[in-house]
Structure 1
Amino acid sequence: MPWWQWLIDIAGILLLLVLGYGLALVIRRRALSRHGGTFELSYRVRSDRAGRGWVLGLGRYSGQTLEWFRVFSVAPGPRRIWARDTLSYDGRREALGAEQMSLYPDHVVIHCQTASGEIELAMSEASLTGFQSWLEARPPGTDWSR
C-alpha cells in the first residue's frame, strides 16, 4: 500500500476518534442534566497566579451536595463534591483581567468557605440566586450561626 493511503487511513481514524469524543461529551451532558438542577459552574483549581487556574464545568444539585463536573471530560462521576452543611457563601466580585477570557460570559466569581478552606466558583447571576436559595434551604436543626 502506498504511503499516501496510509496517511488517509490514519486521518480517517483520527477523525472517527474526534467524532466519538464529541458524541461522548454530548451524551454525558444529556445524562447529567437528565435529573435537572444543572448549571454552568466554573471552579478555580489553582489560585497561585492571579486570574489563572479556572476550569469550565457543570454544577448539579444532588440532595444535600453540590457536584462539579468538568465540561471536557467523559468521566461519569463528579470531580468535586461539596456538602451543603459545610459550605458557606462569603461574597462575590466581577471577573478581572484574564479571568474574563477564562470564564463563561457574564459570570461572577463567588468566594465560599468549606471545611477544607476557601474556594472560588464562577456562575451566572441567575445561578447565583439559585445557589443562595439552595444554601439557605438547609434542613431543620442546622446551625445557622455559621
Structure 2
Amino acid sequence: MPVWQWLLDAAGALLVLVLFYGIGLIVRRRLLSRNGGTFELSYRVRQEHAGRGWLLGLGRYSGESLQWFRYFSLWPGPKRVLQRSEVTYLDSRAPEGSEQMSLYPEHVVLSCSTPDGLIELAMSPASLMGFQSWLESGPPGTDWTRGPRQ
C-alpha cells in the first residue's frame, strides 16, 4: 500500500475521531442542561500569573452545591463542587488586561473564600445575582454574611 493511502486513511480516522468528540460534547451539554439551572461559569485554576489560568465551563446548581463542568471535557461528572455552607462571596470586579480575551464579554470576575483558600469565578451579571441569591437562601440558621473561616 503506498504511503499516500496510509496518510489518507490516517486523516480519515482523525476526522472521524474529531467528529465523535464534537458529538460527545453536544450530547454531554444537553444532558447537563436538561434539568435547568445551568449557566456559563468560568473558573480560574491557576493564579500565579495575572489574567491567566481561566477555564471556560458550565455551572449547575444541585441542592446545596454548585457544580462546575469544563466545556471541552467528555467526563460526565463535575470537575469542581462548591458547597453553599463553605463559600463566602467577597468581591466582584471587571476583567482586567488579558482576562478580557479569556472570558466571555460582559462577564464579571468574583472572588470567593472557601476552606481551600480564595477562588475566582467569572459569570454574567445576571448569573452573579442568581449566585448571590443562592448563597443567601441557605437553610435557616446559616449566616451568609460570615467572614472566612479561621
Which residue does 2:37 correspond to in 1? 37
Check whether the contact 2:41–2:68 (CA below 8 A) recurs between aligned residues.
Answer: yes
Tell me, in whole angstroms, the C-alpha distance in 2 between the residues paired with 1:122 and 1:71. 14
Q: How is 1:2-41 mapped onto 2 (pairs within 5 angstroms)?
A: 2-41=2-41
Q: 2:63 — aligned with what?
A: 63
Which position in structure 2 is the counterpart of 1:130? 130
Q: After TM superposition, where is structure 1 displaced by more than 3 Å over at least 4 residues in a row?
A: none
Count of matched residue positions in the alignment of Structure 1 and Structure 2: 146
For residues 64 and 94 of structure 2, the distance between their equivalents in structure 1, rounded to whole angstroms, comes to 28
Q: Partner amino acid for 1:23?
A: I
Which residue type is aligned with residue 105 of structure 1? P
- Identity level (%): 66
TM-score with structure 1 length normalisation? 0.97
Question: What runs of 5+ residues in structure 1 fail to find an aligned partner?
Answer: none
Q: What RMSD, in angstroms, separates the aligned Cα atoms of the two structures?
A: 0.9
Letter in 2 for 1:18: V
The 1:140–1:39 alpha-carbon spacing in structure 2 relative to 1, beyond 3 Å, is same
Shift of 1:143: 3.1
